[in-house]
A and B are shown apart, each in its own frame.
Chain A
C-alpha cells in the first residue's frame, strides 16, 4: 500500500515536471486603473490588451503562453500600486510587469522592479524621468516633453503671449517646463502659470483667471478622459474662445474617445501629439476598424489604447524571442532597440540608450469632418526623442 502511494506520487511529480517543460507560461502582471473617477483611462488599456490578445497579433512559439494577472490601483495612488506590484512579484511570481496609467504609481513601482529584477513595460505614464528610475523600465507610450517642447517652439511663431495651466503632478510639471522653455526661447511671453489639483471637476475659477489675464494662447495639460471633457466644458462656458484665446496643448486635452462628449467647443484647438484616431495610416485604419468592430461604432481608441497595444506587442516579441524562458537581462537587451515600423501611430522604436520611446509627433487641428469631430494631423515631426533626456545628456 505504502509502496503504491509513493509510486503514484513519483508518477504525478514526473508528470508535473514534463507538463511544465512542455507548456511554458509567462506570467505578466498588469497594474491598471479599473475603478475611481479616472477609470476611463484604465478602460483604454484593458480594451487594447484584450483586443490584441484576441486578434492573434501575439505570435508565440508552440507551447508558450502568456498569462495576464490584473490588479486595480484605483487611480493616482502610489501606495496601492506599490503594494500590488509587491504582491504580483512575490506571490504571483510574475516575470514582467506592465500597465500603469499614472506617473506617481510608476515611480512607486520602479524600485521594486530594480530590486526583484522584473522588466517593467510602461504603457502610459508619461513623465520624462520615469525611465531613469530603474534599468528595468522600458516605455512604449510617450513623454510630455515629446509633445509640449516642439509645441512651444511652434506656438512662439504664432502667438506673443501665453498662459500655462497644468494638472499639479508629474506630467503637468513636465508639460509646463517643456512648453515654457521652448516658448520663451522662441521669444514668447508667459503671462502666468497655474497648477490645478488632479482630479478637478470644476475648472471655472482657474479659467476665469486666465480669461482676466487676456493671453493670446492658453496652453493646458490635464489628464485625458473625463478631466479633459470638464476642462473643455469650462472653456466653452466661460467663453474663452469668444474672448480670442486660442487653446493649445498636448493631445490629452482633445483625447479621441471623449471628442463626441465635448460638443463643438474643441473645434480649432491646436494640439501636438503622437496619436490621433483620425490618422490616415493603413495600420491605424485597421486598428480603429477592429477596435470598433469589437467594442461598437461609438468606441474610439485613444493614445492610451495605442500605448498598451504597442506595449503588448513588445512583450509578446521579447517572450517569443526567448522561447518563453524569460530572463530579465536578456529581456531588457531585447527591449532596447525594439522596433515596430507599423504601429497605428506610425513607426516607433525604443531608444537603446534611454529605454524610452522614439516616435513621430504630429501638429493637429480639431475639426469637423463629415459631421464628426476629429483631430486632423497637419504636420509631422519625425522620430522625436524625449527632449528632456537629450538636454540632460548635453
Chain B
C-alpha cells in the first residue's frame, strides 16, 4: 500500500510538471483558435524558437539564466507580431484549408532554418546550479528544477486568469471570443486586440518551450513532434477558453506519465484512446461550449 501511494505521488509530481509545460505552450494556441478562428498549426514553432533563443543567449552571449529566459520570451513575442502583421493577418478571412496549408508550410520553413543554425542534435540551455539536484519535501526528494517549473507555472496561471477576468483587456478579449461582430460594433479594435493576444500566446509558448526543454528536447523537428500533443490538449479542453486547455494539459501530463510508469510497453496508446473517447462523447471538448 505504501509502495502504491509512493508511486501515485511520483506520477502526480512528474505529470504535473509535464502538464504545466504543456499548458503554458498550448494556452496561446487555444486563444488564437477561439479568438480569431485561426488554425495555427505552427504554434510549436514559437515554443521551439523560445528554447533555441534562450540557448543562444546563454551559450553564445553568456547571459544568466533568468534574464535569458525573460528576453527569449519577449524576443519571440516581438517576432511573432511581425509574422502576424506580415503573414497571418492576410489569412484571417481565408478558408480553413488555406490556413492549415499555410501554417504547415511555415513549420517546414522553421524546421529547415533551425537545422541550419542549430544542427540535428537536441540542445538545452544549461541550468543554474541552484536548480540542479533535489529538494526534500515531506520525507521525499524531488528534482528541484521540476519543483520550480510547477511553482512558476502555477504563478503564471494565476496572473493570466486574473488578467483575463479582471482587466479591461481581458474583458475585450472575452467579448471578442463570444461575438466578434458585436465587439467590433461597440468600438473594440479587434485587429489590434488580435495582434496583442497573438503576441502574448507566442510569448507564453516560448516560455513553455524554454522551460520545458528539459522534458521535451529541442530539435529542429520539435514543432512537428509535439504538435499532436498541443492539439490534443486544446481539443480535449475546449477551444477559446483558459480553463479548458488547463484541464486538458493536466489530463495529458498525468495520463502520459502514468502510462510510462505503469505500462510503458503501450506507449501513448491510452492517451490517444482516451482522446478519441472524450471527443466522441463531447466533440466540443470537456469545457468547450457546444457550437
Chain A interface residues toward B at CB < 8 A: 35-37, 39-40, 168, 194-197, 201-202, 204-206, 208-209, 211-212, 226, 230, 233, 236-239, 242-243
Contacts and interface: CB of A to CB of B under 8 A. Distances in A.
Given A212-B10, A242-B134, A201 B217 contact: yes
Contacts of B18: 202
A204 B143 contact: yes
Contacts of A237: 132-134, 143, 145-146
Interface stretch (B34-42, B96-104, B258-266): B258-266
Contacts of A196: 260, 264
Interface residues of B, number: 31
Q: Which of A194, A201, A242 has the most chain B CB atoms closer than 10 A to its own CB? A: A201
A298 B87 CA distance: 43
B21 to A, nearest CB: 10
B216 interface: yes
A206 B3 contact: no
Contact of B7 (A168, A209, A233, A243): A209
Contacts, number: 79
Q: Which of A208, A209, A211 has the most chain B CB atoms closer than 10 A to its own CB? A: A208
B25 to A, nearest CB: 15
A238 B10 CA distance: 11
B160 interface: no
30 contacts: A36-B120, A36-B221, A37-B120, A37-B219, A40-B121, A194-B264, A197-B264, A201-B122, A201-B215, A201-B217, A202-B214, A202-B216, A202-B217, A204-B143, A204-B146, A206-B264, A208-B14, A208-B261, A209-B10, A212-B3, A212-B7, A226-B121, A226-B122, A230-B122, A237-B132, A237-B146, A238-B143, A239-B134, A242-B141, A243-B141
A259 to B, nearest CB: 15
Contact of B265 (A39, A168, A208, A243): A168
B267 interface: yes
Interface string B122-166: 100000000011100000010101100000000000000000000
Interface string B4-24: 001100110010001000000
Contact of B261 (A205, A226, A233, A243): A205
Contacts of A40: 120-121
A204 B267 CA distance: 15
A38 to B, nearest CB: 8
Interface in B233-276: 257, 260-261, 264-265, 267
